[in-house]
Amino acid sequence: MTTNPSLLTPYKNTGAQSSSLRQISEDAFYVVNEVVTKRLGHIPILKGDLHVLPYKVQRFIAEKAELCRPRGIYICDGTHAEAEEIKDKLVERGMLTQLSAYENNYLCRTDPKDVARVESKTWMVTTDKYQTVTHTAEGVEPIMGHWMSPLDFGEELDSRFPGCMAGRTMYVIPFSMGPVGGRLSKIGVQLSDSNYVVLSMRIMTRVSLDVWEALGDNDFVRGIHSVGLPRPVKSAVVNHWPCNPERVIIAHRPAEREIWSFGSGYGGNSLLGKKCFALRIASNIARDEGWLAEHMLIMGVTRPCGREHFIAAAFPSACGKTNLAMLEPTLPGWKVRCVGDDIAWMKFAEDGKLHAINPEAGFFGVAPGTSNKTNPMAVGTFQKNSIFTNVAETSEGRYYWEGLEDEVEGKNVQITDWLGKPWKLGDPTPAAHPNSRFCAPAQQCPIIHPDWESPNGVPIDAIIFGGRRPTGVPLVFETFGWEHGVFTGASLKSETTAAAEHTGKQVMHDPMAMRPFMGYNFGKYLDHWLSLDKPPHQVPKIYHVNWFRKDANGKFLWPGYGDNIRVIDWVIRRLDGEEGIGKDTAIGVVPAPGSLNLEGLGEVNFDELMSVPRDYWQSDAKEVRKFLETQLGSDLPNAIQEQLTSQEKRINAL
């Protein structure tokens, strides 16, 4: 199979800011115009004016249209009217159903084969393999980063993209991650043949014509997405949801800042601003520019005394970020405000502090388990202008999923499950898919932070890592310093969830909660983190939490949700330097007996919750050493190696 070299030629960044370059690019207009016109051939522009866009964008569109051969090109403007027009069409076609009990809420059922991220088909394409993966020990498959050679990628691309949009519209989506024009913000352009993607991107990112203005002649991240089912369609389309599960590929070319996604319409695979751009591509940009792109929520916590602290927290997918970011405190006088629930871009500012922005504009949250009891602020957010994917529906036009039983019990309502079948309480299968999601504008969150769109971000005082650890791991501990904190993040593990294709509950390594999102060599990534602790930087303190420890009967030891404020309270008192509330253990500082505010809580087995069992941690230490040494090989930073050794010594001395 041959590869069209023009598809794989990196675009040159002309850095066209100076007036002389601007002059050249104006002269080049006529050339561009000719090339663009030739490449487009007879493909009509259905909406918008291609020739007023930045030249690089014009060329990008023309080149990819020539490749994918859509029936027309639709340049999105991000307006409400545009969204209405698309929604009406989708309702008519049966892909969306209005949830009539709310204002402008819609339900979408996908093909049941397309319901989660597909980690095994997600790739980083780099010339040098070790830009993507670490030097693992002989015979050990790297689990962080998934490498494909440019040559192989060329073949995969050639066998999928030519003509892949036949009979469909190619939407051009201009979007900004972070407020348009902001200091930490970045611009992307996604091409997609899915109108569900257009509607979702409009919620999750800032889609607007202002983006073109802010972009000018600068470079942008390029996204090409296709559901991979050109017309006429040869196989049956299930649920009016075109996709091509057998041929899925999500490939990133970090050097070219380019993303190619094929075959899936599901959020994490198709909303390219999210995991693909804001984590995998952005972590590459961040390393080059000296900042961090992380899988973290950002929250502001105000104590009864009125002082506010900002916290960033990294938990793997479906492990509680959205819930913590919108926590409703059970302690009186406390206030939590949400800055972001999934991704943080963080950079040290002149004040020496690490400042974070939320690059997204919406929440793409796990639906099951979300209720007025667990997360009333999320519920408040998605009462209007939201899209629900793979949830169930009631005969009253409301959404339904596991965790909302109280709202239908004893009422005469019929439920239709996510597969479109009649369903009733007590049925053996779940009503909603476990990875069903709500997609809602962040600005509708009742506790959105007034500075959530501040272009300078918010100053982070503490970073928290966490995961689902049914045994052995205490509710909270403070690490002994930056290096120990980075080591603790690198050793992060969690039980698998429905957010990706892994089946069965197994505790897996998920370093920094970034395993599925690692954009470059994980050893270099750790080096980058370690290098940040230098003057004048005031690095945040690093903590680890575990809301999911279970007792011998398999019951959670900790009530979680709103009561997690009690842990945050302890964290902030530690930041303040309050004495006598910490107890040193081998793995970090846990709350001393009596130091955690448990007032008003029922029975809590504090000792079991905080215990650091020697046997457990001895075998854990062995396993972590094996993991880090075999996974990172020669890429394992010395500082992490030293942390490993000193932690082992402390554990053996327990």
Site residues, ligand OAA (CB under 6 A)? 117, 267-268, 274-275, 317, 342, 364, 499
User: DSSP string covering 560-590, please?
Assistant: -GGGGHHHHHHHHHHHTT-TT-EEE-SSSEE
In terms of CB distance, is 275 or 573 closer to ligand OAA? Answer: 275
In terms of CB distance, is 53 or 279 closer to Mn ion? Answer: 279
SS3 425: coil
Q: Which residue is nearest to Mn ion (CB)?
A: 342
In sign, the C-alpha dihedral spanning 236, 238, 241, 243 is: negative
Q: Which does 561 bind (CB under 5 to 8 A by kind): ligand GTP, ligand OAA, Mn ion, none?
A: ligand GTP
Binding footprint of Mn ion on the chain (CB under 5 A): 317, 342
In terms of CB distance, is 399 or 423 closer to ligand OAA? Answer: 399
For residue 376, cis peptide bond before it (omega within 30 degrees of 0): no
Q: Which does 222 bind (CB under 5 to 8 A by kind): Mn ion, ligand OAA, ligand GTP, none?
A: none
Task: Kindly state the smallest distance separating residue 365's Cβ from ligand GTP, in Å.
Answer: 5
Task: Kindly state the smallest distance separating residue 261's Cβ from ligand OAA, in Å.
Answer: 12
In terms of CB distance, is 136 or 564 closer to ligand GTP? Answer: 564
Task: Kindly state the smallest distance separating residue 3's Cβ from ligand GTP, in Å.
Answer: 35
Residue 600 buriedness (CB in 10 A; 0-12 / 13-18 / 19+): exposed
By DSSP bridging, strand 422-423 and strand 415-416 are antiparallel
Q: Which does 199 bind (CB under 5 to 8 A by kind): Mn ion, ligand OAA, ligand GTP, none?
A: none
Task: Kindly state the smallest distance separating residue 594's Cβ from Mn ion, in Å.
Answer: 36
The 3-class secondary structure across 189-248, one letter per residue, is EEEECCHHHHHHHHHHCEECCHHHHHHCCCCCEEEEEECCCCCCCCCCCHHHCCCCHHHC
In terms of CB distance, is 189 or 318 closer to Mn ion? Answer: 318
Q: Which does 117 bind (CB under 5 to 8 A by kind): ligand GTP, Mn ion, ligand OAA, none?
A: ligand OAA
Q: Which does 274 bind (CB under 5 to 8 A by kind): ligand OAA, Mn ion, ligand GTP, none?
A: ligand OAA
Tell me the one-letter amino acid at 621. A
In terms of CB distance, is 469 or 650 closer to ligand GTP? Answer: 469
Q: Are 32 and 59 in contact (CB under 8 A)?
A: yes
What's the chain's length in residues? 654
Q: Which does 574 bind (CB under 5 to 8 A by kind): ligand OAA, Mn ion, ligand GTP, none?
A: none
Binding footprint of ligand GTP on the chain (CB under 6 A): 315, 317-323, 341-342, 365-366, 368-369, 374, 499, 547-548, 556, 560-561, 564
Determine whether 445 is an active site residue: no
In terms of CB distance, is 73 or 143 closer to ligand OAA? Answer: 143
Determine the Cα–Cα distance for residues 478 and 647; give it in Å rounded to an integer: 14
Tell me the one-letter amino acid at 14. T
In terms of CB distance, is 276 or 557 closer to Mn ion? Answer: 276
Residue tagged 């043949």 (tokens): 193
Q: Are 648 and 621 in contact (CB under 8 A)?
A: yes
Determine the Cα–Cα distance for residues 614 and 590; give it in Å rounded to an integer: 15
Among candidate residues 76, 108, 164, 319, the one labeled active-site is 319
User: DSSP string covering 377-390, please?
Assistant: HHHHHTTBS-EEES
Task: Kindly state the smallest distance separating residue 313's Cβ from Mn ion, in Å.
Answer: 12
CA 16 from chain centre, in angstroms, equals 31
Task: Kindly state the smallest distance separating residue 498's Cβ from ligand GTP, in Å.
Answer: 9
Strands (E), 330-398: 335-340, 344-348, 354-357, 362-366, 387-389, 392-394
Q: Which does 322 bind (CB under 5 to 8 A by kind): Mn ion, ligand OAA, ligand GTP, none?
A: ligand GTP
Task: Kindly state the smallest distance separating residue 295's Cβ from ligand GTP, in Å.
Answer: 7
Task: Kindly state the smallest distance separating residue 122's Cβ from ligand OAA, in Å.
Answer: 11
Give 440's contacts (C-beta < 8 A, 6+ positions apart): 203, 362, 363, 365, 378, 381, 382, 385, 386
Q: Which does 374 bind (CB under 5 to 8 A by kind): Mn ion, ligand GTP, ligand OAA, none?
A: ligand GTP
By DSSP bridging, strand 335-340 and strand 476-478 are unpaired
Q: Which residues are catalytic?
A: 319
